[in-house]
């Protein structure tokens, strides 16, 4: 409902033992359907419901309903809807770990995928039966993300391998101190989520951030610029979105112990961080690279100069002095420049929408 979707809830008899229909009727604003033949709207109810739906989400999907689906059993309203609308189904399984690992269940999962259905992988943790392991229903955020991908994705990056860097890097001074910046990684995560929505195989390489990253996003966590460079060079890609705020200054010397105040040097010798984009471009000349530029004064010229110097295909200029833009915000305002001289201004909006527009621009030009 919060996403602007019209929701019709269908409950099995077993589901009503756990939750009352009244809860879902209150939230959806519609009567909950549970029986093939009760109520005013009967006829070919199961067929009409399928025709009216863009997506059929089964959550939680039990081992029983999955087995029914695979074997074409339709003995209640939900299983009949699934039989008629199997092309529209999205399953979010939840069950005990032993039930999940049963060869029959695993075989059914494979058959679901083969027949064209999608599965939102269950997560690990403490289960309702107090066992610990895989089988928990995926988080609400993951389920909503999967639904959004299914309904709104345009396949802009389908079949593409995408790398996204995010967040800051930290350069150690001693065991407890470091040099870093204010990047939160929100823009990078938005790009990773939008790329996944558009059908890409996404790897997110992130510095230290405090973000809830969905399980479906392959994530590699690093700390320093050297660590990020090492991971980058081990991964080839069709597109690289270099949104990480690489710390420019690296201390020349590092202490394994905490430096005492009376032994702290008057000045800390520093060196420049490696140029990750240049190093990656040299090894992967065919990758479409989109860089990011945080500039306050003479932003356009400095950004375009950086694009040309580093051999980028695109660069996204971010002015952190603009209200609602820059580090830490959920919104952003940017200008995108291309190697062939084109320019796109993207006014203030959520970082997810900005990320989608960046992906649309960068996938349209060269692909």
| Residue 129: active-site member | yes
Q: Are 49 and 41 in contact (CB under 8 A)?
A: no
Per-residue tokens: 4: 């602007």
Cβ distance 310 to 278 under 8 Å? yes
Query: Do 229 and 274 touch, CB atoms closer than 8 A?
Result: yes
What is the spatial distance between Cα 300 and Cα 157, in angstroms, rounded to a whole number?
28
Tokens of 106: 């695993």
Catalytic position from the list 129, 151, 175, 296: 129
Instruction: Give 35-52 as a DSSP string.
Output: -SS-SS--TTHHHHHHHH
Contact 149, 3 (CB under 8 A): no
CA–CA gap between residue 105 and residue 98 (Å, rounded): 10
Q: Which residues are catalytic?
A: 129
């Amino acid at each position: 409902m919060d996403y602007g979707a019209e929701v019709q809830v269908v409950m099995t008899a077993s589901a009503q033992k756990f939750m009352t229909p009244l809860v879902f009727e209150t939230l959806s604003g519609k009567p909950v359907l549970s029986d093939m033949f009760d109520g005013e709207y009967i006829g070919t109810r199961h067929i009409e419901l399928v025709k009216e739906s863009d997506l059929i989400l089964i959550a939680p999907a039990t081992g029983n309903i999955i087995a029914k689906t695979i074997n074409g059993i339709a003995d209640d309203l939900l299983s009949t809807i699934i039989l008629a609308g199997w092309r529209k189904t999205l399953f979010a399984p939840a069950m005990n770990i032993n039930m999940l690992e049963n060869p029959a269940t695993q075989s059914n999962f494979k058959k679901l995928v083969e027949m064209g259905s999608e599965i939102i992988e269950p997560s690990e943790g403490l289960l309702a039966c107090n066992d610990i392991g895989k089988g928990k229903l995926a988080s609400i955020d993951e389920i909503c993300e999967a639904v959004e991908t299914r309904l709104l994705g345009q396949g802009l990056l389908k079949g593409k391998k995408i790398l996204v860097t995010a967040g800051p890097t930290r350069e150690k001074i001693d065991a407890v101190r470091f040099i870093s910046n204010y990047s939160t990684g929100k823009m990078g995560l938005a790009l990773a989520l939008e790329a996944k929505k558009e059908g890409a195989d996404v790897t997110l390489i992130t510095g230290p951030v405090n973000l809830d990253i969905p399980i479906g996003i392959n994530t590699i966590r690093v700390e320093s610029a050297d660590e990020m460079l090492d991971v980058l060079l081990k991964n080839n890609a069709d597109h690289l979105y270099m949104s990480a705020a690489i710390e420019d200054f690296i201390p020349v010397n590092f202490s394994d112990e905490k430096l005492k105040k009376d032994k702290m040097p008057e000045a800390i010798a520093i060196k420049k961080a490696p140029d990750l984009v240049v190093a990656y471009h040299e090894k992967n000349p065919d990758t479409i690279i989109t860089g990011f530029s945080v500039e306050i004064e003479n932003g356009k010229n400095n950004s375009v100069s950086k694009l040309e110097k580093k051999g980028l295909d695109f660069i996204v200029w971010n002015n952190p002095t603009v209200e609602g833009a820059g580090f830490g915000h959920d919104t952003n305002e940017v200008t995108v420049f291309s190697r062939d001289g084109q320019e796109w201004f993207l006014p203030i909006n959520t970082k997810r929408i900005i990320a989608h527009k960046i992906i649309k621009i960068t996938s349209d030009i060269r692909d």
